[in-house]
Amino acid sequence: MTNKVYRSAQGKMVDLGALQLRNESVRAVGNMGVNARGDIVDAKNRPIDSRNNQVAKQYSRQSTNVVDSRVPTSNARKKPVAEAPKVDIPVPPEDFDDLFEKPTITPVDATAPVPEGIAAAIARARQIKED
């Protein structure tokens, strides 16, 4: 008998420990796919992996000793980084005038019908209006 015996609101004695032991192989409610013990179960409620095995695997993953773990080494030698080739940038002559043509801006026709929609709104935002 377990220590999990409680009295209900109606005065009846309920042994929750016995209830747990009786239903420990039944699939638990939820989306984890386990039974009441914590074993992973398949669609037919057959245990796939016990809770004890799961805990042992997790413990072995976390408790590796630094001395026991393998130290990665590499025999490959690093190749020297090649320098970028030097490029001679041409120097403009002294009498060179730095005059560039500005792009022409097409004026917006105020009499044209205004299209509606998101494409038209984007097009209007991109146009430059001259005053």
Please write the tens of the pLDDT for every residue from 34-93: 998 899 999 898 999 999 999 999 888 877 666 666 666 766 666 777 788 888 888 878
Of 29, 58, 69, the closest CA to residue 45 belongs to 29
Residue 19 falls within a domain, yes or no?
A: yes
Are 119 and 127 contacting, i.e. CB atoms less than 8 angstroms apart?
no
Residue 42 domain-assigned (yes or no): yes
| CB-neighbour burial class of residue 47 (10 A; exposed 0-12, middle 13-18, buried 19+) | middle
Q: Is the pLDDT of residue 131 over 70?
A: no
Residue 11 φ/ψ region, left for φ over 0, alpha for ψ in the -120 to 50 degree band, beta for the rest: left
**Inside any domain, residue 115:** no
| Cα radius of gyration rounded to whole Å, the chain | 39
Q: Has residue 29 been placed in a domain?
A: yes
Beta bridge partner(s), residue 13: 7
Question: How do residues 44-57 score in pLDDT, each as one tens digit?
Answer: 989 999 999 999 99
pLDDT of 30 > 80? The answer is yes
Range of the domain at 46: 5-62
Number of domains in the chain: 1
For residue 80, the model assigns a pLDDT of: 74
Q: Decide if 125 is inside a domain.
A: no
Domain assignment present for residue 109? The answer is no
